């Protein structure tokens, strides 16, 4: 057990329901804040810049949701996911999606064993804590849909038998926005299963200098190997932190604000499709994670504002006539959401 495991242990005094004798929320929130700060600092040993991206990934981990990472090639999307997985020592699985991939390549299959004259279940790579689905939009819709059940229900059905995955379970899926040939758009039902869509952009000049210098300090440009990060906690600690995050207080006025933002996306100028109820739920979940990362036991309207773009950008669609003008979804959402008045709490 590490120092950070010890730090989290007092947060839960095991009662009959596991959380009935929780310490005061402010104390628990401060412990989670310290843990997330340590995770961030450890990852930044091999990742320069991308501060908001890292915060969004850690927030998704606390909220227990899945993340769609979008960015141009070579910006370190896979690198960041590998570094995060190494910090909590969870099982890590990776799938390179290709046009010829089959659903059984993800979930697993049953095979008849001639020796025992029985069917044996061979579990697929989805049975892990953190699954990296690389270039998910290169696989056809039938294969993409194989992830739907496990993302929503945290279980996999193989030949009629439902098998649970081990918590904590997260999917980090990457896609490249500029490669159109040989790609398949993600169906709306699967997009909605992602808690957030995180856009990875180019680093600043100073940050890029650090990346190039650090990466070339080792043979084969391995100077920033994500395996260099230290394990700070175990999956049990993450599960406890997720439980504490779920219990962060949200006053009715803030929930009302989240719902008004969600409903406004359905009527905003330039958007042909707005976010559904799952969008409002996700907005509050991510806001709770931001609150506890700041050491607070309550959600502020600013937490909701900060979460709105990554939560909504993949749940809305730009109207065709507006898309022609070159406006992107983030610009339209920023203007639309700014017109919704925040509560004074």
In a domain, 7, yes or no: yes
Cα–Cα dist 163/235, whole Å:
19
Per-residue pLDDT of 123-170, as tens digits, reads: 888 999 999 998 888 888 888 888 877 888 888 888 778 889 989 999
Instruction: Tell me: pLDDT of 286 over 70.
Output: yes
CA nearest to 145, candidates 97, 78, 94: 97
Give the whole-angstrom CA distance, residue 176 versus residue 178: 6
Tell which wins on pLDDT, 280 or 16: 280
Mapped onto helix, strand or coil, the DSSP state of residue 221 is helix
Domain with 332, as residue range(s), is 248-345
Whether 109 is covered by a domain: the verdict is no
Residue 86 scores a pLDDT above 50: yes
Q: What is the mean pLDDT of residues 327-331?
A: 89
Which of 210, 245, 280 terminates a domain? The answer is 245
How far apart CA 22 and CA 44 sit, in angstroms, is 32
Q: How confident is the model at residue 19 (pLDDT cuts 50, 70, 90)?
A: very low
The structure tokens 């959402």 sit at 333
Asked whether residue 341 is domain-assigned, the answer is yes
Residue 110 in any domain: the answer is no
> From start to end of 155-303, where are the E strands?
155-158, 161-164, 170-175, 196-200, 271-273
Q: Is residue 2 classed as helix, strand or coil in its secondary structure?
A: coil
The CATH number given to whatever domain includes residue 38 is 3.40.50.300
Q: Tokens 């709105």 sit at which residue?
A: 308
Asked if residue 148 belongs to a domain, the reply is no
Task: Using the CB atoms, write b or e for 80-117: b if 16+ within 10 Å.
Answer: bbbbbbbbbbbebbbbebeeebebebbbbbeeeeeeee
- In this predicted model, which residue has the larger pLDDT, 194 or 117? 194
b/e burial code for range 219-257 (CB count within 10 A of at least 16 → b) = eeeebbbbeebeebbbbebbbbbbbbbeebebeeebbeb
The answer on 218 and 182 residing in a single domain is yes
The answer on pLDDT for 117 being more than 50 is yes
In a domain, 212, yes or no: yes
In this predicted structure, the answer to whether residue 266 has a pLDDT above a threshold of 90 is yes
Distance CA 187, CA 341 (A): 32
The rounded mean pLDDT for the chain is: 85
Please say if the pLDDT value at position 2 is more than 60: no
The domain that contains 344 carries what CATH number?
Answer: 1.10.8.80
- The pLDDT value given to residue 166: 87
Is 176 found in the same domain as 323?
no
User: Is a pLDDT exceeding 60 seen at residue 264?
Assistant: yes
Residues 291, 205, single domain; the answer is no
In-domain check, residue 108: no
Residue 142 lies in a domain: no
pLDDT for 16 equals 32
């Amino acid at each position: 057990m590490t120092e950070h495991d010890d730090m989290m242990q007092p947060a839960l005094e095991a009662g009959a329901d596991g959380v009935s004798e929780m310490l005061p929320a402010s104390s628990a929130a401060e412990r989670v804040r310290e843990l997330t700060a340590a995770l961030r600092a450890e990852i930044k040993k091999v990742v320069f810049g991308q501060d908001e991206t890292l915060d969004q990934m850690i927030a998704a981990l606390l909220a227990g949701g899945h993340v769609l990472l979008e960015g141009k090639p070579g910006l370190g999307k896979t690198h960041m996911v590998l570094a995060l997985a190494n910090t909590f020592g969870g099982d890590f699985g990776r799938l390179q999606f290709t046009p010829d991939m089959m659903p059984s390549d993800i979930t697993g299959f049953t095979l008849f064993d001639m020796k025992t004259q029985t069917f044996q279940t061979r579990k697929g790579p989805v049975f892990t804590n953190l699954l990296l689905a690389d270039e998910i939009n290169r696989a056809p819709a039938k294969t993409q849909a194989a992830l739907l059940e496990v993302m929503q229900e945290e279980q996999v059905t193989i030949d009629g038998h439902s098998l649970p995955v081990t918590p904590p379970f997260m999917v980090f899926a990457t896609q490249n926005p500029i490669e159109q040939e040989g790609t398949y758009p993600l169906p709306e039902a699967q997009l909605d299963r992602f808690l957030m869509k995180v856009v990875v952009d180019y680093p600043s000049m100073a940050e890029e200098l650090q990346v190039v210098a650090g990466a070339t300090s080792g043979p084969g440009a391995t100077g920033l190997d994500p395996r260099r990060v230290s394990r700070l906690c175990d999956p049990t600690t993450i599960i406890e932190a997720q439980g504490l995050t779920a219990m962060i207080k949200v006053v009715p006025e803030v929930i009302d604000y989240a719902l008004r933002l969600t409903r406004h996306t359905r009527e905003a100028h330039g958007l042909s499709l707005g976010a559904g109820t799952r969008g409002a739920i996700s907005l509050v979940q991510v806001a709770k994670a931001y609150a506890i990362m700041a050491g607070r036991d309550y959600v502020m309207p600013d937490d909701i504002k900060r979460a709105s773009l990554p939560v909504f950008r993949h749940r809305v669609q730009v109207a065709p006539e507006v898309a022609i003008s070159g406006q992107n979804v983030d610009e339209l959402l920023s203007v639309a959401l700014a017109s919704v008045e925040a509560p004074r709490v």
